A and B are shown apart, each in its own frame.
Chain A
Amino acid sequence: MTFLNPEPVSLRQWGVYRKVAGAVASGAYGELCSLRWSWLSPGGDAALLYSGVLAHLLEASRELAGGRLERLHLEPAETVPACFALAAFEGGVVAEVEIHEALPPSAPAVRFLLADFTGGRVTNRPLVGHHHGEGAFLATGEGAEALLFEPMPAVKRPLEDGEIQRMIAAALGGGRGA
């Protein structure tokens, strides 16, 4: 993805966060129940995994939850800068965090937030697939590919249907074809 305005913004400036914060403030969708964060980066800064990325996500979550962080559980990955985190906030909101700061260069960066409310949801997570596309996605050091398990339709012979063929021939003969 090419960002036309490449200067990054803080979480608080980010439009998706602001949309969720607006929903929390207005109560338009009821009470906030949970937050699901996906922060996946090719070539991120491993040194900032916990003290930077995770800390900022927890701080943003605390702001949205409107209560202090009561409990935090971390599941760090081995040999790669990645972790999962669960955070419980005063008032009953739970945040789920997945962070990976060293995806293959061919994998796009992801910043997704899903906020579930008692009466609705606000999110920029794709409805279909992981990058708004059908099928699966595989990225390695050799490159990335989209994998669709269903075949595409193809045509390998002329259709044996006189009526349709006559109509096509007539239309072509009428000057609408090549």
Chain B
Amino acid sequence: MKPMKLVIAGAANPHVPGYLRSMGRMRGEVELLAVSDVDAGRRERGLALLKEQGLEVPGYDDFRTMLDRHADAEAILVGSDNAHHLEMYREAFARRLHIYGMKVVTMCPEEGAELAERQAGSGRVFQVELELRYQRQFQKARELVRSGRLGGIRAVSLSNVSQSPIGYFPNWGVPELSYGRRVPLTPGAARFRGGALTDHPHPFDLIRWMTGLEFAEVTAFASRNQRSYLEVEDHLVVTGRLTDGTPVLINPSYSNLEERATTRRLYWPKSLECNLKLFGESGCYYADYFDHPVLVMGEGHASPNRLIVEGTPPARPAESMLQRFARQVRGEARREEDAALADGLAAVKVMNAAYESLYHGKTVKL
């Protein structure tokens, strides 16, 4: 396959370093041309990750300059702060680029509608990073639901509890950058939308994807923040009902504590608890994101001298999300696990309903 020519616009998203680290492995399918970020520190750290893999590409502070200089780019990975996604998407559509959108696409419904309109009939791939679909244990869950092996699904519980990345990505805790504007969590509150809930669209997406159902209503409760210094929410839980009446429980909190440091240093010895429980009429299925974990500990670890649970690389690696994107750009048909713009926007709709529920203290129907 001819490698897809990609530029990365923005390294503000905490997931961008992971993509940069994988560029060397994807050389045959993805040719990275350049990286831009308005923040020189983030940009240079990103370029250094590439250099470690023998990849030297230019960096730019302005994404439009980058696009001008690399007019042969076919696709763009938008990894800026959420608040800057729209201007980058607009530019990408204008230049007829394929788009890989980091979460969240946008928390603003009007922006979402504009994107949907631009995307319709554009002939361009717009893939959204909704990563849980690519885990085999969750694909198995979908298979169990669809096959009826558990009987009718009667309840779904899903946690997506992580550390807060705001220590090492401070921009992630600025409401205007993460949520797009400053909206109090409850009337008169000094906490604002844009924290753990905004960061976690994938559990909402996973439930839609597994069941094939939409959310009919949601109810959210937030406790006091664990991290009093954050302006955004770090601790909340959401219940809801799907369109067939199935109740769901989702915890998308930042409740795995970490050191307050400029790099990720975990206190709780697991970065992510992502546990699914499906309760059917004739059986139940529980899955953990960490299918085959290991325990590590050492002075040289990023979280030094403490026991840490980590996932392991698969023995037979599946295609990555970015590889799936590249193959779609090259004309391969979209697969069921490939999340499109509409999926990203559907998850955001549920998340905004959860915010409205928090604000008004009542159940919100979708």
Contacts and interface: CB of A to CB of B under 8 A. Distances in A.
Interface of A: 31, 33-34, 36, 71, 73, 75-80, 82-84, 86-88, 91-94, 96, 98, 100, 103-104, 107, 116-121, 127-131, 134-141, 147-151
A79 B244 CA distance: 13
B240 A75 contact: yes
Contact of B292 (A83, A135, A137, A139): A135
B223 A149 contact: no
Given A75-B241, A94-B222, A107 B284 contact: yes
Contact of A34 (B235, B270, B275): B235
Contacts of A128: 288, 290, 293, 309
Contacts of A36: 237, 251
Contact of B247 (A75, A103, A104, A119): A75
Contacts of B247: 75-77, 83-84
A79 B281 contact: yes
A31 B226 CA distance: 8
Interface centre among A79, A129, A136, A151 (most CB of B within 10 A): A136
B255 A78 contact: no
Nearest to B256: A121
B283 A127 contact: no
Contacts of A119: 257
B143 to A, nearest CB: 11
Interface string B122-149: 0000000000000011001000100001
B224 A93 contact: yes
6 contacts: A80-B155, A86-B237, A94-B222, A103-B279, A128-B293, A130-B288
Contacts of A116: 226, 235, 253, 255
B304 interface: no
B269 interface: yes
Contacts of B257: 119-121
Contacts of B219: 73, 75, 86
Interface residues of B, number: 60
Q: Which 8 A-B pairs have the closest CB atoms?
A: A140-B283, A92-B224, A75-B247, A94-B223, A150-B292, A130-B286, A136-B287, A84-B249
Contacts, number: 168
A133 B285 CA distance: 14
A62 to B, nearest CB: 14
Contact of A71 (B251, B284, B309, B361): B361
Interface of B: 136-137, 140, 144, 149-150, 152, 154-155, 157, 219, 221-228, 235-237, 239-241, 245-249, 251, 253, 255, 257, 267-270, 275, 277, 279, 281-288, 290-293, 309, 312, 314-316, 361, 363
A118 B223 contact: no
Contacts of B267: 120
A108 B212 CA distance: 29
Nearest to A138: B285
Contacts of A136: 137, 140, 285-288, 291
Nearest to B247: A75
Nearest to A123: B268
A79 B253 CA distance: 30
Contacts of B236: 94
Contacts of A98: 155, 157, 249, 277
B226 A147 contact: no
A73 B257 CA distance: 27
Given A34-B255, A116-B235, A149-B136, 14 more contacts: A33-B225, A71-B221, A75-B239, A80-B281, A86-B219, A94-B223, A104-B284, A129-B286, A136-B285, A136-B288, A140-B149, A147-B137, A150-B314, A151-B316
Question: Which of B149, B227, B257 gathers most chain A CB within 10 Å?
Answer: B257
A34 B226 CA distance: 9
A84 B223 contact: no
Nearest to B159: A36
Contacts of B282: 104, 140-141
A148 B154 CA distance: 25
